[in-house]
Amino acid sequence: MRTDRVAITGIGIVSAAGWTPEELWSAIEAERSGLGRLTLFDSPRCGHVPVGQVIGDPAARSGLSRGSRTDHFAVCAARDALEDSGLREPGPAADRRRMGVVLGGTTGGMLSTEAFLQKLLLDEAFDAALLRDHQCCAATEAVAAGLQLRGFRATVSDACASSNAAVAIGCDVLRSGEADVMLAGGADSLTRLTLNGFCSLLNVSHEGARPFDAERSGLSLGEGAGMLVLEREEAAVARGARIYGLVAGYGSTCDANHLTAPMPDGSAAANAMRRALEMAGIAPAAVDYVNAHGTGTVTNDLAEARALRAVFGSRPPAVSSTKRFFGHTLGAAGAMEAVVCVLAMQRQRFPANLGFRTMDAEVGFAPVAHTCDGTIRAIVTNSFGFGGNNCSLVICGREA
Amino acid sequence: MTSPGPGRHAGVSICGMGLVLPGPTPGMLPSVPSPRLAAGPVYSCRELPALPPRYARALRRLCRADHLALAAAVQAVGDRGGQEGPDDETAVCVGTGMGVVGATAAFLESMVEENEGNPKPTAFTNSLHNVPAAQIAVYLGLRGPNNTFIHGSVSFELALWRALRMMETGQARRAVVVGVDEASPYVVTAGQRRGWFRGDGASLDPMAGSAARVRGTVPGEGAGALLLCRESDAPQGRREARLAGLRIEPPADPRIAVRDPDAEAEFVVDALESAGVAMEDVDLLLLGANGDCRIDDAHRRVVGALARSGRVSCGVFKSSCGEFCAAAAVGVVLGAMAVRDGALAPAIRLLGRPVRARAVSCVACYNLYETGYRSLCVVKA
Amino acid sequence: MPDIVEDLKEQVIKALNLRDVTPEDIDPDAPLFGEGLELDSIDALEIVVMLEKRYGIRVEDMDVARQAFRSVNALAEFVTENRESCEQTE
């Protein structure tokens, strides 16, 4: 057994398609989208587009006395993941200074920052309390405090690649021996800023994202949190933990080309996948499933399709984007999709690329149309973000 | 959260440095969107630093934080001039506590005032935290891993940590590490309301605030950048600064007043030890003290505990830049410059006379933050 | 038409923050994107915002925009046509 392999021993998720991995998986089996009407706030300009809004009361579920919607999502998913790994009560011998957390996020407590600005500009009142949980790292600190994780803490914000980066960082922390247990994931809530922002880019779909479909009309925003509990494989085996699989490799690159537009040839994205596979020691031909970034915008889908062809040749493995299930959750997307990958591998089922009907010749392949059986030993999961950030993870079984 | 042993960091050279500092005295911010917001005092860069002419087209899109970060990075890397091809092996790691506040505020202000009338695409895309890192990558052609850390006052330290780790594990061969924060009337006002910043217009005088019982510090802005490379890749025949160690520790107890100075001194000694440095080898302990008597007192108690085993030369630097989340970058770059040049830059203010007369060859940058986080970064010849 | 062309030049310079460009520098027949002013996709979106703000024309389809934003003259034609149709429907 290689001593630096990183095992996934717990998962947690909060999404528009469910508050638990089981709920989410039933939605994936039923091919039921979590996209729906926005009720979280009024949006005169963009209120009509479908979004992946989490239903229910996150504050009640998190039990936190304060914090942003993002913080609540993060704490719920983190608590479930830690519970799932059996480390919620790690025993008196456990050193909590050896347990850490690394999260990705983009907007943190922006919802209340928006309320702050409304008060300031419309009522001339400066309500500093509304800024208290503004930063993304508030979620990281809330998770650390709530679950008594006293070790390594970091918050990374690489736009839509944030939480894949968080998983990669979590693995590096374990491999260098700076912690024994790492919670790695991401959380983001819907905000007026991101909704209006993406609408101003004219890339939000009016009927819901249909990634890779010839008639796609843009992305759909969502919210939520995804968390993985990571441990060195040998430590996980030694304590008799249930091991879902490994994070065997990760690779990240930057397009260094344009602030928002992906490099049309997808070359830097392809390099991110190649680096991840190289670290994992897995040949492209051995990959059974790719969970694509697949936002449903023309520019992303075509660039990603080219990147996939560059890595896997003209016949890529089974590919699906699962974004129509809960929307594009920005800083949480990578970690939530990593949870989908873990579930797919556990159940040996390919999750559907919900919303796909018509093959796009320019994409050049048809994604998984319906959730179905498959042999899944090795998975590549992609997250690409503004700023040209590309981060790919390889998740595989222990025998892959 | 420990740093790896000395053997592992020994191979990292600092082969470029960049620093963008505000003016020497606090001034007022130029534009304030609401009468409810305070205009200053704040250490701010009245004129943003010039960028090479080929960046002229870029200027129209650069926000304040982007501009500060890019200017520091260009100083550290040298203007690649667009001559060389893209570089797949250099990572960009940025730490910023607040991100691009101005762009975020601009987008939100127009969204609120016009009731979502005409959201500005550029303000939105510029509001993302990773824009400074992306701009550096675009203009310097750096295609390696690109990470931005947003984690309060240890944002820069985490970026540095990440760069070291990626170089160790072969994920990157070189790294540009930048700490940046821009001044904003929102940050200034919020900080004043919370008692972090004072509004009296006095200059910052770290470690003097204790006697006067001055509460609050003065906000600032700026950027510091390092180009890290493997020692084997470093240009020969030049005196180089090496990054010998880094340690970041989250708070055990978030209330700074109850911290045990002996335990803190132990943290410093331990962190130095794992960098292969003894306390007596340290020519300068550069402190993150910021003129707020509570923070200064905490630093003073730690120095007092350390001094029991021999005198220590201490210096401060925040009188040159004010306080901001990523200000540790300024300290580390100043420390690296001191080691490279063998002498201290004027931005460093010595507390008392130096203990040793010899040229500076080892600087330890120690920060103890209001949030209870602390960090130690060691730079050696 | 000439008035619209001149106004559009000024609006484009303002909206895109083209600090080193004057209206005289812009050839109304020259392509706006790629070469010439070297504008990109974000600039196109800024022009969309400008059209709505200045002329009350709402563009929601980037394919339409790509055609209409070929040059300042093409933009002027687009504005003239769409403004008229707006006025007629009012």
List chain A domain ranges. Answer: 6-238, 248-396
**Does A72 participate in catalysis according to the annotation?**
no
| Per-residue model confidence (pLDDT) at position B101 | 95
| Per-residue model confidence (pLDDT) at position B82 | 52
| Per-residue model confidence (pLDDT) at position B4 | 41
| Per-residue model confidence (pLDDT) at position B3 | 45
| Per-residue model confidence (pLDDT) at position B9 | 47
What is the per-residue pLDDT across A60-114, written as a single tens digit (0 to 9) for each? 999 999 999 999 999 999 999 999 999 998 777 778 999 999 999 999 999 999 9
Q: Are residues B151 and B56 in the same domain?
A: yes
What is the per-residue pLDDT across A41-61, written as a single tens digit (0 to 9) for each? 999 999 999 999 999 999 999
pLDDT above 90 covers a percentage of chain B that reads: 68
A230: how many CB neighbours lie within 10 A of its CB? 30
3-state helix, strand, coil in chain C (%, to 5): 65, 0, 35
- Among chain C residues, the shortest Cα distance to A260 is held by C42
Would you mind telling me the total number of residues written for chain A in this entry? 400
Q: Are residues B343 and B266 in the same domain?
A: yes
Q: Are residues B207 and B257 in the same domain?
A: no
Average pLDDT across chain C, whole number: 86
What is the per-residue pLDDT across B56-88, written as a single tens digit (0 to 9) for each? 877 888 999 999 999 999 999 986 655 567 899
**Is residue B1 domain-resident?**
no
| Per-residue model confidence (pLDDT) at position B254 | 58
Domain boundary among B180, B215, B233: B233
Distance CA A340, CA A345 (A): 9
In this prediction the pTM is: 0.96
What is the per-residue pLDDT across A134-171, written as a single tens digit (0 to 9) for each? 999 999 999 999 999 999 999 999 999 999 999 999 99
Higher-confidence position of A298 and B38: A298
Please say if the pLDDT value at position B255 is more than 90: no
Confidence of residue B7 (pLDDT cuts 50, 70, 90): very low
**Does A160 participate in catalysis according to the annotation?**
yes
Distance CA B202, CA B43 (A): 11
Domain boundary among B201, B233, B265: B233
Residue A129, token pair as written in the block: 């309390």
Higher-confidence position of B259 and C3: C3
Instruction: Determine the average pLDDT of the residues in A368-379.
Output: 98
Distance CA A272, CA A253 (A): 5
Please name every residue paired with A52 in a beta bridge, in sequence order, or none if there are none.
A222
Angle at B183 between CA B177 and CA B185, to 5 degrees: 155
Please say if the pLDDT value at position C87 is more than 60: no
Please say if the pLDDT value at position B153 is more than 70: yes
Confidence of residue B232 (pLDDT cuts 50, 70, 90): confident
What is the per-residue pLDDT across A324-357, written as a single tens digit (0 to 9) for each? 999 999 999 999 999 999 999 999 999 999 999 9
Q: Do B60 and C19 touch (CB under 8 A)?
A: yes
Q: Are residues B48 and B64 in the same domain?
A: yes
Q: Do C45 and A200 touch (CB under 8 A)?
A: yes
| Per-residue model confidence (pLDDT) at position B121 | 93
**Is residue B83 domain-resident?**
yes
Instruction: Determine the average pLDDT of the residues in B41-51.
Output: 90
Please say if the pLDDT value at position A320 is more than 60: yes
Residues contacting residue A310 through CB under 8 Å, at least 6 positions apart? A265, A266, A267, A270
Average pLDDT across chain A, whole number: 96
| Per-residue model confidence (pLDDT) at position C89 | 46
Q: Are residues B68 and B179 in the same domain?
A: yes
Q: Are residues B123 and B266 in the same domain?
A: no
What is the per-residue pLDDT across A237-288, written as a single tens digit (0 to 9) for each? 999 999 999 999 999 999 999 888 888 899 999 999 999 999 999 999 999 9
- Among chain C residues, the shortest Cα distance to B60 is held by C17
**Is residue B207 domain-resident?**
yes
Homologous superfamily in CATH for domain A248-396 = Thiolase/Chalcone synthase (3.40.47.10)
| Per-residue model confidence (pLDDT) at position B83 | 56
ipTM of the complex: 0.97
| Per-residue model confidence (pLDDT) at position B239 | 74
Q: Which residues in chain C are contacts of A201 at CB distance < 8 A? A: 45
CB B180 within 8 A of CB B220: no
Tell me the C-alpha to C-alpha distance, in Å, between residue A389 and each of A307, A394, C72.
14, 17, 34
Q: Are residues B153 and B26 in the same domain?
A: yes
Distance CA A153, CA B205 (A): 31
List, as ranges, residues 240-259 from A with C-beta within 8 Å of C: 258-259
CB B325 within 8 A of CB B98: yes
Q: Do C40 and A202 touch (CB under 8 A)?
A: no
| CA C69, chain centre distance (Å) | 6
* Domain with B192 in it: 6-233
Select the residue of B57, B61, B121 nearest C45 (Cβ to Cβ): B121
The alpha-carbon radius of gyration of chain B (Å, integer) is 20
Catalytic position from the list A293, A341, A391, A396: A293
Confidence of residue A383 (pLDDT cuts 50, 70, 90): very high
| Per-residue model confidence (pLDDT) at position B363 | 97
Domain boundary among B181, B208, B233: B233
Instruction: Determine the average pLDDT of the residues in A302-324.
Output: 96
Please say if the pLDDT value at position C83 is more than 90: no
Q: Do C46 and B118 touch (CB under 8 A)?
A: no
Confidence of residue C85 (pLDDT cuts 50, 70, 90): low
- DSSP code of B147? E
Catalytic position from the list A160, A171, A391, A396: A160
The lowest-confidence range among A134-138, B97-101, B142-146, B236-240 is: B236-240
What is the per-residue pLDDT across B308-352, written as a single tens digit (0 to 9) for each? 888 889 999 999 999 999 999 999 999 999 999 999 999 999 998
User: Beta strand pairing status for B284-287 and A224-232?
Assistant: unpaired
**Phi–psi pair at C65, nearest 5 degrees:** -60, -45
Select the residue of B56, B117, B121 nearest C42 (Cβ to Cβ): B121
- Nearest Cα neighbor of A114 from B194, B128, B104, B33 is B104
CATH number of B343's domain:
3.40.47.10
How many B-C residue pairs are in contact by the CB < 8 A criterion? 25
Q: Do C42 and B122 touch (CB under 8 A)?
A: yes
Confidence of residue A3 (pLDDT cuts 50, 70, 90): low
What is the per-residue pLDDT across A183-206, written as a single tens digit (0 to 9) for each? 999 999 999 999 999 999 999 999
Q: Which residues in chain A are contacts of C64 at CB distance < 8 A? A: none
What is the per-residue pLDDT across B264-315, written as a single tens digit (0 to 9) for each? 999 999 999 999 999 999 999 999 999 999 999 999 999 999 998 888 899 9
CATH topology of domain A6-238: Peroxisomal Thiolase; Chain A, domain 1 (3.40.47)
Distance from CA of B222 to the nearest CA of A (A): 20
Kindly list the residues of chain B whose beta carbon comes within 8 Å of any beta carbon in chain C: 56-57, 59-61, 117-122, 125
| Per-residue model confidence (pLDDT) at position B5 | 37
Average pLDDT across chain B, whole number: 89
List, as ranges, residues 114-133 from A with C-beta within 8 Å of C: none
Q: Are residues B265 and B340 in the same domain?
A: yes
| Per-residue model confidence (pLDDT) at position B89 | 95
Instruction: Determine the average pLDDT of the residues in A17-23.
Output: 98
- Structurally, how many domains does chain B consist of? 2
- Nearest Cα neighbor of A156 from B18, B175, B249, B161 is B161
Q: Do C18 and B120 touch (CB under 8 A)?
A: no
Q: Are residues B215 and B254 in the same domain?
A: no
How many A-C residue pairs are in contact by the CB < 8 A criterion? 16
Distance from CA of B19 to the nearest CA of C (A): 26
CB A337 within 8 A of CB A229: no
**Is residue B192 domain-resident?**
yes
Select the residue of B60, B117, B125 nearest C17 (Cβ to Cβ): B60
Homologous superfamily in CATH for domain C2-89 = ACP-like (1.10.1200.10)
3-state helix, strand, coil in chain B (%, to 5): 35, 20, 45
CB B162 within 8 A of CB B93: yes
Q: Which residues in chain B are contacts of A140 at CB distance < 8 A? A: 151
Distance CA A134, CA A117 (A): 12
**Does A328 participate in catalysis according to the annotation?**
yes
| Per-residue model confidence (pLDDT) at position C65 | 84
**Is residue B350 domain-resident?**
yes
Q: Which residues in chain C are contacts of A259 at CB distance < 8 A? A: 42
Q: Which residues in chain A are contacts of B175 at CB distance < 8 A? A: none
CB A187 within 8 A of CB A105: yes
How many helices (H) and strands (E) chain A has is answered by 12, 12
